[in-house]
Structure 1
Amino acid sequence: MNPENDSLFEFPCDFPIKIMGKSHPEFAATIVEVVRRFDGDVDASRVETRPSSSGTYTGLTVHVRATSRAHLDDIYRALTGHPMVKVVL
Structure 2
Amino acid sequence: MTDDRETLLEFPCRFPVKAFGRQGEGFEAVVHDLLKPHVPELTHADLSRRESSGGRFVSVTAHITAQSQAQLDAIYAALTASDDIVMAL
The CA deviation at 1:54 is: 1.3
Structure 1 stretches of 5 or more lacking a match? none
2:51 matched to which residue of 1?
51
**What TM-score results when the alignment is normalised by the length of structure 2?**
0.91
3-state DSSP class of the match of 2:41? Answer: coil
Is 1:81 the counterpart of 2:73? The answer is: no
Across the two proteins, how many residue pairs are aligned to each other?
Answer: 86
Which runs of at least 4 in structure 1 moved beyond 6 Å after TM superposition? none
Residue equivalent to 1:16:
16
- Summarize deviations over 1:5-64 as a string: whole Å, max 9, x none: x11100111110111000111100111011001001112123111101111100111012
Structure 2: stretches of 5+ with no match in the other structure: none
Among the aligned pairs, what percent are the same residue?
33
Letter in 1 for 2:83: P
SS, match of residue 75 in structure 1: helix
Q: How far, CA to CA, are the matches of 1:30 and 1:60 in structure 2?
A: 10
Query: Once the 2 structures are TM-superposed, how far is the Cα of residue 67 of structure 1 from its aligned partner?
Result: 1.1
